Structure 1
Amino acid sequence: MNATMRRVLVGTAAVSMALSLAACGKAGADKKDSASSGDSKSIGLLLPENASSTRYESFDRPFIEAKVSALCPDCKVRYSNAEGSAAKQKQQFDTLIAEGVKVIVLDAFDAKSTQAWVKEAAAKGVKVVAYDRLATGPVAAYVSFDNEKVGELQGQALVDALGAKAADANIVMINGDEADPNAALFKAGAHKALDGKIKKVVYEQSGEWKPTVAGQKTGAAITQLGKDGFQAVYSANDGMAGAIITQLKAAGLSIPVGGQDAGLDAIQRIVAGDQAYTIYKAYKPLADSAAELAVSLLQGKDVKTVATATVDSDTDKGIPAKLLEPKVVTKANINDTVIADGLYKASDVCTADYAAACAAAGLK
């Protein structure tokens, strides 16, 4: 091979290598840019369970999705339900972060376990909106109801249901899951309303937000105290209240029981006289506020235009918050609350089994 030919081949190889390196460099740059930009048009939505309450699939999820779509038509909601498992919710949370989602609306199944998750997310620029339950860790915003006030309303409604018998009444309390910070607030608020107005709380246990557990605990209370040993039952939510009422009926007892969440089955039990009250936490304003906070964070806006209060968690102080007002629902005001707000139609409540009771209650 002569010198001229060698120079041509060397030059060709050099050009080829340069083009290859340039191509590799460009591909690497594209990958880096994609990772750094993240999924800028998606909002993660993680809800805790779907067994003890129908609200999450029936109301929270569709309301949040609709409001996000209205505020940001090209945004998508990436939804998962933990189905009662903190471990599963952690996997769902990690998946959203790995896929580049920058804002996550989190209703934590176990709010005490989230500190490390939320801290890690914040370090990666991911904003977390704590929904309904105040997750631990540096959340960017929180939306819920005044949950101690919820408990106060529950306790007072039970006192009202007992009427003149309240001062001599012994009460059984079936509280929510101790891993849920809201449950502690409901319990504190209920005691605030009950203590001093009733004779005594004679049995108090966690129902763990599980109807089967609540029913078992109620059965244990009947065995321990006897049928005449208590005159009313406080239940932290409607799902547990349904199981409690079933257990009481099996023992031949008909006494005041209350709950919360304004589930359709609870409203029907109230109409029928089996349940004394529920607490209505209007889901649409709650969901709308969560969507507004999430979209604001996604778009880099100040959440304080929505979050007009602040709250403290076990780990962080001064968290921007939007707190909504709950309402008591009894047979007397079903028309003026859940039906007037469009949560249910009278026809939803007044099925064939409840037609006569609805007519007597004036539902229309």
Structure 2
Amino acid sequence: MADFNYPGGYGQEDSGGTAVPVFIGDFGTAFEGVVRVSGWPDLPRAAGEATATGETGAVLRGYFENGGAFCYLANTAGKTLREALTSVEAFHDVTILVPLGLWDGGADAAAETARAVTAFAASHRAMAILHAGREHDVRQARDAARAFKLEADQSAHAALYHPWLTPSGDGAQPVPPVGAAAGVWCRVDSERGVWKAPANVAVQGGSTPSQAVSDAEQGDAQPVNVLRAFTGKGTLVWGARTLDETDDQWKYVPVRRLVDLVERNLRQALDRVAFQPNSQATWESVRTAADSYLQDLWRRGGLMGTKPEEAYVVQIGEGATMTAEDVKAGRVVLKVGLAAARPADFISVTVTGSAGQA
């Protein structure tokens, strides 16, 4: 755990809370707005008995079976998707958005929903977990993802999983794999860290892929993340790619999520000096706290390098990250460079806050 200490403020980053999903869908009259669900047994109390049945119930069960901790449900009944997303704004710990019933309204509606959810995710340094249609084969899943026509930053904040999963039990029907995928993200974060790829990980609960995918088909389907059955290993999540096909820097889910995590924490750190003088003493306190946080992240395996100076750099101050005009205007600019596992080059993060005049 990394602590941030500043004059007048205190905060913590808890690695157990890096994967907090909100499942967005039509829950009818079960509840209004957004509810918190602490676990599978809590679902009927929080969202009504009916929520635990049918496709939605199977998706949520897959989340909890695969290591999911608490989550939120956002109800779209009687409101637009935009209004539902606005209601999520109040829950600052949300880092994953999962739209339910993505394909219920057809391809055009799926694309519209995907764009809205990924735009929200990108602007809040979160990720969207999407899925292809039930009848899509793996190449059609790839084409469907491209047909969403996501902007660059949106595609980097989205991942798509295929095929649907068939839960164990006689007569069970396939369900979208997004619940299981979100649970795997949560489990990997808890056991290893947000920087570990949620791939080559077994899907728990006995679910099996509704379609078989070969090596060749999977290669042709990138950046779709495929779930595959392997003899003696069960069903594995076989891929950890974002939907960004143009920028190698953001090709992998753990890199994008790690950088988002760091940016969120550093932004919160700057918020804590908003009432401090914009002076050398304040900058040094920010630099020291950021260095301590990043060194702890490196020690836990989140950054590459055999020593801290190979893993990250921290810059702040007039002449380095700020001009004299910035200082007078109360702007505080912190820049860090991160040696993430992929790619090998440093990734630059710039965070701007405000402080009192020097």
**Global fold match (TM > 0.5):** no
**TM-score (normalised: structure 1):** 0.29
Structure showing greater Rg: 1
Which has more helix, going by share of residues?
1
